[in-house]
Amino acid sequence: MAAVASDFWAGRPALVTGATGLSGSWLVRRLHESGAHVVCLVRDWVPESELVRSGLAERVTLVRGDVSNGPLVDRVLSEYAIDTVFHLAAQAIVSTALADPVATFETNVGGTWTVLDACRRAPTVRQIVLASSDKAYGDQRDLPYREDSPLQGRHPYDSSKACADLIAQAYAACFGLPVVVTRYANLFGGGDLHWSRIVPGTIRSLLRGEPPVIRSDGRYVRDYLYADDAAAAYMLVAERLSERPELAGEAFNFSNEEPLTVLELVERIAALFGSSLDPVVLNEASHEIRRQYMSAEKAKELLGWQRGFTLEEGLRRTIEWYRQFLGSAGTTEVPPKV
């Protein structure tokens, strides 16, 4: 995946919100390795997060606080002369959004307008990349989702991402804010400790020699993207925006464009273990869309984006991460790291 220049990130002050999350930790690693001066706005100290566990937290600038705290965001942008903002902070669990929609809206919607309005006032900010989601599209008859598909999320998490997405577009259109929206497929990779998600939950079960558990009926269709590919895409968007300001207000889908049922994904993971354990299908999922997957053609054509990992390569690397994290390969053989 080409960058604008080999030294683009060298010494560049970049703010990452949501740095203890899955994609945030991978992004911080890539930015740090590229020579950026990385500042992370972190609400909670999460010792198990990859940001802390890997030692990255000791090599970047950490600011403790909430993205909804406007004066704090103002101070961070000013004090560190931030050039590029990656706004990834969000409450990202669908079931949590159903249980506590107000807190989800406060973080995902209120946090977004707080960050964007602070960027509007900050003279040093040149690029802003906002993390939306495929969930913003809601339930669509025509698939795959394309960037001109309507945003019609109806459930709390889905609608919170649609709102944040539209707010970003409004700031670009009305105030000329240099913001681009990224809409990702389901992300997976090492560092995701939300065990209710299908990839980490399945891997942990198989490492323990236990049958994986599927909350739904296994027939829901999704597409996926490896977290390191997501991190590279965030950086590519910022680089392209720096040379092409007309991209402000645009949205881009990122996906491996390989839709699978949940059951098929579990079978792929089990095959990498050589496991014959049958999954336990609970059929308890509710308020979730049956079929959703995206086209990434726009990102390929306008940004020159290409994924760096196949689904199988990403899964192999993810399995190895959890094998090391959990400290045991369980009763099954784990494929070697590639």
Q: Indicate whether 187 pLDDT > 60.
A: yes
Percent of the chain with pLDDT over 90: 86
Q: What is the dihedral of CA 160, 163, 164, 169, to 10 degrees?
A: 160
Q: What are the backbone angles phi and psi of residue 133, rounded to the nearest 5°? A: -165, 160
Token couple for 266: 């579990």
The per-residue pLDDT for range 70-96, each reduced to its tens digit, is 999 999 999 999 999 999 999 988 888
334: confidence class by pLDDT, cuts 50, 70, 90: very low
Is the bond into 13 cis (omega within 30 degrees of 0)? no
Query: What is the spatial order of strands in the sheet that 61-64 belongs to?
Result: 61-64, 37-42, 13-17, 84-87, 127-131, 179-184, 251-254
Q: What is the mean pLDDT of residues 89-116?
A: 93
Q: What is the rounded distance in angstroms from the CA atom of residue 119 to the CA atom of residue 112?
A: 11
pLDDT of residue 6: 58
Catalytic residue among 137, 145, 157, 224: 157
Q: Indicate whether 332 pLDDT > 70.
A: no
Do 40 and 63 touch, CB atoms closer than 8 A?
yes
Pick the CATH number of 13-189+225-254 from 3.40.50.720, 1.10.357.140, 3.30.70.3340, 3.20.10.10: 3.40.50.720
The residue extents of the domains of the chain are 13-189+225-254
Buried b / exposed e over 198-236, threshold 16 CB at 10 Å, is bbbbbbbbbbeeebbbbbbebebbbbbbbbbbbbbbbbb
The per-residue pLDDT for range 47-59, each reduced to its tens digit, is 888 899 999 999 9
| CA-based R_g, the chain, Å | 19
Q: What is the rounded distance in angstroms from the CA atom of residue 141 to the CA atom of residue 151?
A: 13
112 to each of 92, 118, 299, how far by Cα in Å? 14, 10, 23
Do 265 and 221 touch, CB atoms closer than 8 A?
no
DSSP character string of 69-101: -HHHHHHHHHHTT--EEEE------HHHHHH-H
Do 87 and 130 touch, CB atoms closer than 8 A?
yes
Active site residue 157: yes
Mean pLDDT, the chain, integer: 92
10: confidence class by pLDDT, cuts 50, 70, 90: very high
Max distance between CA atoms of the chain, in angstroms, equals 58
pTM for the whole thing? Answer: 0.92
Q: Indicate whether 69 pLDDT > 60.
A: yes
Do 288 and 216 touch, CB atoms closer than 8 A?
yes
Q: What is the rounded distance in angstroms from the CA atom of residue 190 to the CA atom of residue 199?
A: 10
Do 224 and 188 touch, CB atoms closer than 8 A?
yes
Identify the helix (H) or strand (E) that includes residue 63: strand 61-64
